[in-house]
A and B are shown apart, each in its own frame.
Chain A
Amino acid sequence: MSDHTSTGDGHAPGELDMGHHHVSSPAMFLSVLLALLFLTFITVVVAQFDFGSANMLIAMGIASIKASLVIAFFMHLKYDTAINKLVFMSSFLFLSLLFIFTLGDLFTRRLDHELHTTKSPVDLEWSHPSTLDGDH
């Protein structure tokens, strides 16, 4: 497959040629395409039903499967070098940190609200304690 001979590279011998010349078969590409179209159809179908709080999980789950197919086969990452896999996957890892802490703060603010330390950002109605009932 290779038109040239690799001269002594000596950098990381294990990485040589990996991901360089992997040629996938048209049949494989076609089946990936069909799978993607089918999953798009599934996405639309399940959106017609209400699974409550699982809606987001299901939608994102299907999208993730589709994304993995694109990454692994169309983008050849499955056949790429270990470092390229690591690089791309770590972007999702660090993205998840942004999600976890930012959304985590939002979700736990509600718990704080129950401790009467803060109120939620949209609650603009404030009653002064002097107008409330109680032992004030």
Chain B
Amino acid sequence: MINYLIQEPKQDPQGDLPWDGVPAHEIDFWGQLPVQAGTFDHVDGLFYFTYAVCIIFFVIITGVLLYSVFAHRRKTWDQKPLSNVTHNTPLEVVWTIVPLIIVMIMFAWGFKGSLDMTTVPHEAQRNTYKATAKQWNWTFIYPDATQSIAEVYVEVDKPVQFILESTDVLHAFYIPVMRVKRDIVPGRYQSVWFHPIKQGVYPLFCAEYCGDDHSRMYAKVHVVDAATMADRPWNKVPAEDKPVERIAYGARLARQLCASCHKMRDTDTVVTGPSWLGMFTKQGDTYVGRQREVLEGGVTKTITTDDAYIIESIKDPTKKIVAEAPYNKNSMSKFDTLTDDRVACLIAYMKSLADN
């Protein structure tokens, strides 16, 4: 109860929201659905068909209802009804059969459409990405085994399949403009496919509740032309001779992957994992790691934070657990798909946080 009464101050967004730079959905003529960037037209078709049927039925029902309420309202307290009819078999048969026929049309249309959406064509199978969902970010592996985080590039006019995998709890892969949604069940693979036909940047949401930062589990979907794809914009980790860019890149990655558990700015309030501040101290040109008690296989030992320890902690976090409470209670999930290059950028960022 106490935690409702005493509110920790809300986290300051600080202008680096995951959806920065993504335009709002363009809405179609009828004002209901985002303009589709894929080919599943039957979704929109059936949606508006059903919608129209619903409006027609709604108008009939409320029309008759409001008319009779007005026309047949009781004016004197002992007024008797105009009719005592108790049933009308032909009418009842009609209003049973007509809706039945209409809903069967909807069923057939919807099922045919869903078959289209679950049967992956060969072109899409040959263009398979893997999307890994974890609390609370997305990692994508491309057909050429390169990787990107929190954003994904797909080529326009080329059907694409995503194999979906979760490393912890249920998530759902939802791209509104493509009309695809699929829950991601840990312990097995799911798949979706779509055929992007319109270039642009679109949101990808997690649609299945997955815990604290469910609403921040967002990725950008870039639909780009073949030339841009060939340039692999997602794979551009700044070169080692550009330390400033590397730190900036590492900072961006850290906001996407690590900030939901680790404190890395004075204004952050998270205490799930150890703070990154004070991890290193700058002495001249070298960075000296802090001493730390860790539990390894149940044994407490003291180690010095260094690159090797951080890399190990990212790839296999449960091997050495920080002994200090509350961190010893929480376990970090593995980031073993992170490329070495990117880990190096993260470490560069971590070091840039050092005190002088």
Are the CB atoms of B188 and A123 closer together than 8 Å? yes
In the complex the two chains form, is B189's CB within 8 Å of A118's CB?
Answer: yes
Q: Roughly how many angstroms separate A2 CA and B128 CA in the complex, as a whole number?
A: 78
* Chain B residues whose C-beta falls within 8 Å of the C-beta of A116 in the assembled complex: 120, 125, 191
Of B143, B144, B188, which is within 8 A of A120 by CB?
A: B188
Enumerate chain A interface residues (CB-CB to B < 8 A). Answer: 115-124, 126, 128-131, 134-136
Whether B190 pairs with A118 at a CB distance below 8 angstroms is yes
Chain A residues, Cβ within 8 Å of B141: 128
A122 CB → nearest B CB, Å? 8
19 contacts between A and B (CB under 8 A): A115-B118, A115-B119, A116-B120, A116-B125, A117-B119, A117-B191, A118-B190, A121-B188, A122-B188, A128-B141, A128-B143, A128-B145, A129-B125, A130-B143, A130-B144, A130-B145, A131-B145, A135-B126, A136-B126
Counting residue pairs across A and B whose Cβ atoms lie within 8 Å, the total is 45
A118 touching B188 in the complex, CB below 8 Å, given contacts A128-B130, A129-B125: yes
Interface residues on chain B, number (Cβ under 8 Å): 19
B interface, CB within 8 angstroms of A? 118-120, 125-126, 128, 130, 141, 143-145, 163, 165, 185, 187-191
Task: Please state if A129 and B128 are interface contacts (CB–CB under 8 Å).
Answer: yes
**A contacts with B: majority SS:** loop
| B193: nearest chain-A partner, CB-CB | A117
- List B contacts of A136 (CB < 8 A): 126, 143
In the complex formed, the residue of A with least CB distance to B143 is A130
Q: Given A128-B145, A130-B143, are A119 and B188 also a contact pair (CB < 8 Å)?
A: yes
B191–chain A nearest beta-carbon distance, Å: 6
For A134, the chain B residues whose CB sits under 8 A away are 126
Known: A118-B190, A136-B126. 8 other contacts (CB 8 A): A115-B119, A116-B191, A117-B119, A118-B188, A126-B130, A128-B128, A129-B143, A134-B126
